[in-house]
Structure 1
Amino acid sequence: MALFRRFGLFALTNIAVIFTIGLILRLTGLDVYLAKSGVPYATTLLFAAIWGMGGAFISLLLSKFMVKASMGVQIVDPRNATGWQRDLLTRVQRLASAAGLPMPEVGYYESPEINAFATGPSRNSALVAVSTGLLNGMDSEELDGVLGHELSHVANGDMVTMTLVQGVINSFVIFFSWIVSKVIVSQLSRNDERGSGGGFFMEFMIRQLLMVVFGLLGSIVVAYVSRAREYRADAGGAKLAGRSSMIAALERLKVAFTRDPIDQRGETIAALKISNRAGGLASLFATHPPLEERIAALRAKAY
């Protein structure tokens, strides 16, 4: 049933994307211009929406498998868990129950970096994983704060939300890259009295360049939404584990980031982690707000 709901949600989002882009074209008069130029914008629009959202949806469905493979996550088996593994399961179970969630898969991965992440296609099929660096470097209160934060991501449906946002951005990037490249090549061809060939190759190269440029601009939007979701997850973690525990966890991360190494394997899943490092212009593309700002927001009870 949950899978059907997701299919429905993605279908509705696709319809919204098609309607929005169509409305933009109509209001700006670009639909008439494109039609006169012989550019098949309607077909391109449908393709962009399906391809953009479809790719994001497939990534969501495969997210647990991909993360397990890339990070070498070891799943804790409740039937055989003892010692620290049993303690980890007990903590997750307690916090998940408080959040009204079914028990997620729980795992760990070998890394000196103090970090954790949550992923999965739905609330009922989630994975929460922590690094060995986190297990060795945080006390009980801080660990609860991190787990509360990650479970809040699951409870808030952030994996699905970010997938929808990414899918919408993908659709816009694909559509406008195709349309703009076709218009540019069409105009260049009209102005080229010699009628020289190479139009297909030129269009392909322009399209690839535009996809990079539009993709970078789109990633700023995705990162902005991600940062907003992080504040909500911090607030959720404070509610589940206690505000002091959530603040203590972020304070510990702040200290760790000044001296501990970065796990390069995790760069592809940086958005899933409890925090990442970015400054200056790179902060526009950061999926997480600065730790100082997150701590200040918790202390001010801004979220």
Structure 2
Amino acid sequence: MSYFKTAILLAGLTALFMGVGYLIGGSSGAMIALVVAAATNLFAYWNSDRMVLSMYGAQEVDERSAPELVRLVAELAARANLPMPKVYLMDNPQPNAFATGRNPRNAAVAATTGLVQMLSREELAGVIAHELAHIKNHDTLIMTLTATIAGAISMVTQFGMFFGGHRGNNGGPGIVGSLAMMILAPLAAMIVQMAISRTREYSADNLGARICGQPMWLASALVKIDNAAHQIPNMEAERSPATAHMFIINPLSGHGVDNLFSTHPSTENRVRELQRLAGEFGSRGGFPNTQAQAAGSRPRGPWG
């Protein structure tokens, strides 16, 4: 159901983009808008991972510079039946993490120094497993596309304000229509983008819990990260709020409820779902992760 909902939301975002282009310039405006979207998406497909890692000053680490973190990522990636992603550290006191990359073979997991220092090994495993779930679900590509289309909609509406506002008598939206479009189209795009993000977070929580084998490790980590995010600013994220949806917890501010303008589900709702999953885990005597399921064996912890 989550993939179906994501597909519907992406289709809606694309339709909105085409509609904005059509309002500005009719059929030709719609085609121009699609060409712009295709070009920006192509650029984002090949370069978004390097751009966001550079934006946060992330430094690649290996077994010599961060042995425990790299080994943990390797163990969990093996359990998820994924290629080993690159591992990055961000020098930031706020505990947080994100995954990026256009596909599992070109993926990276980035964690802040605050995350590594604040969480226990079990909690860190839950967070890393969540990010690996994003990679396995191809969410990193989906979120890049949605952010790019949403940004393109905002850009096109700005063009519409300058070039479409005086065409009310020639089939254009007119000045009133242009003003409404400039306000409502980016707002609608933002709502759809946030809805896609929240849908993918729930899916990554579920699969991440199965990868590490203990839903409550992730639940405990989410509570710690959410509490710290209210107190420790992430200045890089404040300067680039469009990337907030990539993190496991909103790095900008904590929203106590699930609302249309939140980049993430509320932590309370996510913990509740993980608690429900933990109950299923206990009642079934454990559930296999993606790799152990094929072997028909019960998973071990990633360090035992």
* Residue equivalent to 1:243: 215
Check conservation: 2:18, 2:33, Cα contact below 8 A. no
SS in 1 for 2:98: strand
Check conservation: 1:41, 1:179, Cα contact below 8 A. no
Pair 282,262 (structure 1): closer, same or farther in 2 beyond 3 Å? farther
Letter in 2 for 1:275: I
Letter in 1 for 2:115: L
Pair 250,44 (structure 1): closer, same or farther in 2 beyond 3 Å? same
Give unmatched runs, 5+ long, in structure 2: 1-9, 281-304
SS in 2 for 1:118: strand
* Residue equivalent to 1:287: 263
Give unmatched runs, 5+ long, in structure 1: 1-12, 26-30, 191-198
CA RMSD of aligned residues (A): 3.7
Q: TM-score, normalised by structure 1?
A: 0.73
Pair 42,286 (structure 1): closer, same or farther in 2 beyond 3 Å? same
1:61 aligns with 2:46: yes
Check conservation: 1:101, 1:155, Cα contact below 8 A. yes
* Residue equivalent to 2:144: 163
Check conservation: 2:256, 2:266, Cα contact below 8 A. no
Letter in 2 for 1:210: M
| Shift of residue 223, structure 1, vs aligned partner | 0.4
1:275 aligns with 2:214: no
* Residue equivalent to 1:257: 229
Rounded Cα–Cα distance in structure 2 between residues aligned with 1:238 and 1:289: 17
What aligned pairs does 1:88-237 form with structure 2 within 5 A after superposition?
Answer: 88-169=69-150, 185-187=166-168, 210-237=181-208
Pair 130,45 (structure 1): closer, same or farther in 2 beyond 3 Å? same
Identity of aligned residues (%): 30
How many residue pairs get aligned? The number is 262
Q: TM-score, normalised by structure 2?
A: 0.73
Letter in 1 for 2:237: G
| Shift of residue 157, structure 1, vs aligned partner | 0.3
SS in 1 for 2:181: helix
* Residue equivalent to 2:26: 41
Pair 163,211 (structure 1): closer, same or farther in 2 beyond 3 Å? farther
Query: Cα deviation per residue 1:216-250 (whole Å; 9 max; x = unaligned)?
Result: 22111100110010011111110111212111211
**Largest Rg, 1 or 2:** 1
Check conservation: 1:113, 1:133, Cα contact below 8 A. yes
| Shift of residue 301, structure 1, vs aligned partner | 2.9
Rounded Cα–Cα distance in structure 2 between residues aligned with 1:270 and 1:180: 28
More displaced stretch, 232-241 vs 57-66: 57-66
Letter in 2 for 1:270: A
